[in-house]
Amino acid sequence: MISMRNAKESDADAVARLVNTAFLVEQFFIERDRTNPASVRNLMVKGKFLLAETEGTPNLLGCVYFELRGERGYFGMLSIDPAHQRTGVGRHLVAAVEKTFRDAGCKFSDLKIVNVRTELHALYRRWGYVDTGTGMYDDPTPTKIPVHFITMSKPLL
């Protein structure tokens, strides 16, 4: 059974480890850790991380960062432990974040992905997200190949 809760500051190390493990698949275009505990704590100032755990244990299965931005909600850094990918954990986390957005009065859920992560593009389209534009990849770490962001959005009915 999966339980969910908002992360506390004391979870920053575990969240950073999970995110970095989940984002190892990006090493084909960039070589660096995706985040660190200090960055996680900084994000917690303006938003929250929702954690998915095995009920009754401290086993972190997944996490997602989210922010309320007026009538729009934004989420990112959806990270699932590789041993639990393709088991529905990510879908549960996104559904919970979308519910949080709806409950807060948001009309849309927004995200951005790197264009070369084509599997994510297909996944979010299946979940009802549509392309809304592109943006410059603004990470200061140089990439091995040219990349850009794709912005996506889903109306919350």
Q: DSSP states of 104-121 as a string?
A: TT-SEEEEEEETT-HHHH
What's the mean pLDDT when you consider all of the chain? Answer: 96
pLDDT for residue 58: 74
* CA–CA gap between residue 88 and residue 103 (Å, rounded): 22
pLDDT for residue 5: 97
Residue 99 CB burial class (10 angstroms; 0-12, 13-18, ≥19): exposed
pLDDT for residue 139: 87
pLDDT for residue 17: 97
Asked if residue 57 has pLDDT above 80, the reply is no
Q: Which residue has the higher pLDDT, 136 or 56?
A: 136
Asked if residue 1 has pLDDT above 90, the reply is no
Q: Quick one: which H or E segment has residue 67?
A: strand 60-69
Report the top-level CATH class of 2-111: alpha beta
